[in-house]
A and B are shown apart, each in its own frame.
Chain A
Amino acid sequence: MAGGSDDQDNNGDHAAREAALSARLRSLGERLGRRGRGLGAGQDSGGDAAGDNGPGDNASAIARGFRLSTELVAGVLVGAFIGWALDAWLGTRPWGMIVFLLLGFAAGVVNVMRAAGVMRGPGQAD
């Protein structure tokens, strides 16, 4: 019990131990926080720049690359399909395709930026 009859250096010792303990607690908290973020949200946002070098790191990089490329392709494909369908329906041969292909490309880029975490999610204020 440090409470009872402390002289000067005993008191200082106690304070030092206290400080060391709180520093350790803080670093543990930080490490745990990093851990939890890495485990929980490894894929969804691009925030894992801290880069833990686990064995799954390479593989999840492959998955990320694949995700980004499919996002772009999907946007372009959907734009092209909508343009083609509108052309076939309204008989505006090249124009629907031109406009919607470009819009689809823009949507694909938006998707990629969102998947990479560069941009906020839809409708979210920044």
Chain B
Amino acid sequence: MAADPISQFQVKNLVTFGEVGGHEIAFTNSALFMGITVVGVAALLLGGSARRALVPGRMQSIAELSYEFIASTIQSTAGKAGMRFFPLVFSLFMFILIANMLGMIPGGFTVTSHLIVTFCMALLVFLTVIVYGFVKNGLGFFRLFVPKGIPIFVLPLIVFIEVLSFISRPVSHSVRLFANMLAGHITLKVLASFVTMMGGLGIAGWLGAVLPLGLVVAITALEFLVAFLQAYVFAILTCIYLNDAIHPGH
């Protein structure tokens, strides 16, 4: 395994199918891990709901807990009407959560550490908000950009700022997840390489390596927390944005 901290994010072709218009079409390690993620989510939920016991077992508990967690998150941020988007929010949450957790397995590939992946998910939410907002509210959706109680002569400026703030949503939505995962994994790798470098220096190096080793252990624990937290933050922001589409200006 390469020692530099960046090579863990490299996308490699596993199977190349050919070329379409100068672009290589290939099955990459990223696609493989996305597939594993989807299979993992499906296995967890199908396995959890297969028994349908009145007193849930372990798998069923996990499935029920995750359902109730997301359901209560949606209802507290977007209200009852938000439950129509439960499949979207739940899929996003479970996908990101399992992908982040798979990335914590040594040698694994972190799908969410690529900006294009997180940006696609954020763009999906963004476009859902726009399309649903216009379908549900018609032109009333534009009220989102016109705050109430603003003097008429600063209104154009405010509307500009509101529109820019709206457009910047998918950027911050995606960059947050991507940067957290990227930074965490790079930190881990750098600190772990300190351990091996100092270990090569003999007995004094071994003693010195205790500090970075302890840090690696601590940051691994923190990364597990971040993996969950970022999935949750992505889900809750999705709910907040969807809330704007459901009730713009209330």
A110 within 8 A of B: yes
Which B residue's beta carbon lies closest to that of A60? B229
Identify A44's interface contact among B146, B236, B248, B250, CB under 8 A. B236
Q: In the docked arrangement, what's the CA distance between A126 and B233, Å?
A: 25
Identify A110's interface contact among B161, B179, B230, CB under 8 A. B161
Once the chains bind, are A74 and B175 in contact (CB under 8 Å)? yes
Identify A103's interface contact among B161, B166, B171, B229, CB under 8 A. B161
Q: In the docked arrangement, what's the CA distance between A43 and B228, Å?
A: 13
A4 within 8 A of B: no
Identify B146's interface contact among A62, A71, A75, A123, CB under 8 A. A123
Q: Which residues of B contact A107 (CB under 8 A)?
A: 161-162, 164-165, 168
8 Å CB interface, B209-223 against A: 222
Among listed B1-9, B20-28, B71-79, interface-contacting one: B71-79
Which A residue's beta carbon lies closest to that of B172? A74
Q: Which residues of B contact A125 (CB under 8 A)?
A: 148-149, 249-250
Which A residue's beta carbon lies closest to that of B167? A78
Q: In the docked arrangement, what's the CA distance between A100 and B147, Å?
A: 20
Identify B229's interface contact among A63, A114, A121, CB under 8 A. A63
A77 within 8 A of B: yes
Once the chains bind, are A108 and B145 in contact (CB under 8 Å)? no
Most buried by B among A59, A75, A126: A75
Q: Chain B interface residue count: which class?
A: 35 or more
Task: Bits for A102-126, please: 1 = Cβ < 8 Å to B, else 0.
Answer: 0110111011001000000111111
Question: Given A40-B76, A44-B236, A74-B172, does the pair A122, B166 have CB atoms closer than 8 Å?
Answer: yes
B190 within 8 A of A: no
B144 within 8 A of A: yes
Once the chains bind, are B171 and A122 in contact (CB under 8 Å)? no
Q: How far is the CB of B155 from chain A (nearest CB, A)?
A: 13
Once the chains bind, are A108 and B236 in contact (CB under 8 Å)? no
Once the chains bind, are B233 and A108 in contact (CB under 8 Å)? no
Most buried by B among A82, A111, A122: A122
Q: Which residues of A contact B175 (CB under 8 A)?
A: 70, 73-74
Question: Given A40-B72, A121-B244, does the pair A63, B168 have CB atoms closer than 8 Å?
Answer: no
Once the chains bind, are B176 and A66 in contact (CB under 8 Å)? yes
Q: In the docked arrangement, what's the CA distance between A59 and B232, Å?
A: 13
Task: Bits for A9-46, please: 1 = Cβ < 8 Å to B, else 0.
Answer: 00000000000000000000000000000011101100
Q: Which residues of B contact A111 (CB under 8 A)?
A: 165, 168, 172
Q: In the docked arrangement, what's the CA distance between A122 and B169, Å?
A: 12
Q: How far is the CB of A122 from chain B (nearest CB, A)?
A: 5
Identify A124's interface contact among B73, B76, B249, CB under 8 A. B249
Once the chains bind, are B162 and A122 in contact (CB under 8 Å)? yes
Q: Which residues of B contact A75 (CB under 8 A)?
A: 164-165, 168, 172
A79 within 8 A of B: yes
Ranked 10 nearest A-B pairs via Cβ: A123-B249, A74-B172, A40-B76, A107-B164, A107-B165, A74-B171, A78-B168, A74-B168, A70-B176, A123-B144
Which B residues are closer than 8 A to A by beta carbons? 72-73, 76-77, 143-149, 160-162, 164-169, 171-172, 175-176, 179-180, 222, 225-226, 229-230, 232-233, 236-237, 239-240, 243-244, 248-250
Given contacts A59-B225, A123-B143, 5 further A-B contacts (CB under 8 A): A40-B77, A75-B165, A111-B172, A114-B165, A121-B240
